A = this chain, B = another copy of it.
Amino acid sequence: MGPGPMDIHPRVYQALTSPVIGHLDPSYLEAIDRVGVLLQETFQTANKVTNATPGTGTSGMEACVANLLEPGDKALICVHGYFGDRIRQMAERQDAEVTVLEGAWGKPTDPEAVAQALSTGEFKVVGLIHAETSTGVLQPLSDISKLARDHGAMILLDTVTSLGGVELKVDEWGIDVAYSCSQKCIGAPPGMAPVTFSDRAMRSVENRKHAVRSWYLDIGLLNKYWGSERVYHHTSSSTMNYALLEALELIDEEGLDERFERHLKNHRALVVGIEGMGLEMLVEPEFRLPTLNTVLIPDGVDDATLRGFLLQEYNLEIGGGLGALKGKVWRVGLMGYSSLSENVIFFLSALDRALAKQGHRSDIEVGLTAAAEVLNG
């Protein structure tokens, strides 16, 4: 129950052991096509260039950044956590002119600050994080997306911790490029990165003055393999793709709305449980990310000792804080197959025991009762 990877469904394990077949085998190409169709559904987009890059979520981030930006391009990167800063680093390696809009860790980016920043120049790309895994903040998008459109800039969106777990409407919200990972709300093992590029983004890539610096993640070359041309590019891993495909089929069977509802309910149960116990969440209610919950560490409780106890005594992994939040929060993931009511109850009880071990008393009965009310409601 950390920030990922999550547990995976038995059907996904089974798909992993499909016999390894060639990257140009006709039946395998059908599977790649199906991955594309199901990812379009999950991203809620009609973008033709929608599939998964052959690497972890970070490869998806690099594919988006390196294809959209070339030397001298102006990019506005909104940073209010660890992963926004990673986009900035990648954009700088493309020799883009990067303007950073710094926000407080634990709060979303403010649309007014974006409007102000956009007024200072002609930006090609605005990069931001939909669901910041380091802080548990869910970024509202409609205002910022409209501002970027009015400005003529493209939106590049990190959906690593939201795709398949939280409402995400790429087309309706006017997102140009988005990337995610396979091992969080999607529920497959790590190793693949879903990406989607709008027609506008693809035109921008086709009109580049310089070749994309990454040959491996050049979206034009990847798309010649994913698309109807089937030009050999890399030896696509059938192992990883069949697992991803099965995880996407499970999402299709559950239904996106039902899936979002499940994630939301378990999140709400966890929050009332935490608050019932007398603990506090880091993020204000309206910006809380249902898939990744940041709980403030109470005064006098040792972070590493507590997480070590959970791992040793209960085989339960939760995440510590990153960067500015190190030692200040715990990060509790409820994503994909692991977003289960029993995990909520288990976590609250185990946390109570771990706190008691350090002499910190919590109102576990109040917490469990509140959580159970939400789960049974």
Query: Does A228 lie at the interface of the complex (its beta carbon under 8 Å from any beta carbon of B)?
Result: no
Closest beta carbon of chain B to A318's beta carbon, Å:
11
A232→B90 CA distance, assembly (Å): 16
Closest beta carbon of chain B to A31's beta carbon, Å:
14
* 0 or 1 for each of A345-376: is its CB under 8 Å from B? (1 = yes): 00000000000000000000000000000000
CB atoms of B239 and A16 under 8 A apart: yes
A66→B94 CA distance, assembly (Å): 13
A215→B83 CA distance, assembly (Å): 13
Query: Does A227 lie at the interface of the complex (its beta carbon under 8 Å from any beta carbon of B)?
Result: no
Q: Which of A142-150, A206-214, A248-256, A271-279 contacts B (4 or more CB under 8 A)?
A: A206-214
Q: How large is the interface on A (under 10, 10 to 19, 20 to 34, 35 or more residues)?
A: 35 or more
**Residues of chain B contacted by A92 (CB below 8 angstroms):** 211
Interface residues of A in 208-238 (CB under 8 A from B): 211-217, 232-238
CB atoms of A5 and B25 under 8 A apart: no
Interface residues of A in 157-199 (CB under 8 A from B): 181, 183, 189-191
Q: Which of A20, A58, A189, A243 has the most CB of B within 10 A?
A: A20
Q: Which of A49-57, A103-111, A257-265 contacts B (4 or more CB under 8 A)?
A: A49-57
Interface residues of A in 61-94 (CB under 8 A from B): 61-62, 66, 86, 89-90, 92-94
**Residues of chain B contacted by A66 (CB below 8 angstroms):** 213-214
Nearest CB in chain B to that of A63: its residue: B216
Query: Does A59 lie at the interface of the complex (its beta carbon under 8 Å from any beta carbon of B)?
Result: yes
**Residues of chain B contacted by A21 (CB below 8 angstroms):** 5
* 0 or 1 for each of A19-30: is its CB under 8 Å from B? (1 = yes): 111110100000
A336→B190 CA distance, assembly (Å): 25
Nearest CB in chain B to that of A4: its residue: B235
**Residues of chain B contacted by A303 (CB below 8 angstroms):** none
**Residues of chain B contacted by A322 (CB below 8 angstroms):** 232
A6→B22 CA distance, assembly (Å): 8
A94→B212 CA distance, assembly (Å): 10
Nearest CB in chain B to that of A216: its residue: B62
Query: Does A38 lie at the interface of the complex (its beta carbon under 8 Å from any beta carbon of B)?
Result: no
CB atoms of B55 and A214 under 8 A apart: no
CB atoms of B215 and A62 under 8 A apart: yes
Query: Does A17 lie at the interface of the complex (its beta carbon under 8 Å from any beta carbon of B)?
Result: yes
A183→B237 CA distance, assembly (Å): 9
CB atoms of A189 and B237 under 8 A apart: yes
A59→B189 CA distance, assembly (Å): 19
CB atoms of A240 and B58 under 8 A apart: no
Query: Does A37 lie at the interface of the complex (its beta carbon under 8 Å from any beta carbon of B)?
Result: no
A240→B94 CA distance, assembly (Å): 29
Query: Does A317 lie at the interface of the complex (its beta carbon under 8 Å from any beta carbon of B)?
Result: yes
Nearest CB in chain B to that of A213: its residue: B213
8 contacts between A and B (CB under 8 A): A54-B59, A54-B191, A55-B234, A62-B214, A66-B214, A190-B235, A191-B239, A213-B214
The 3 closest A-B pairs by CB, nearest first: A191-B237, A189-B239, A190-B237
Knowing that A55-B59, A58-B233 are A-B contacts, what are 5 other residue pairs whose CB atoms are under 8 Å apart, sorted by A's residue number? A4-B22, A25-B317, A56-B236, A93-B215, A191-B191
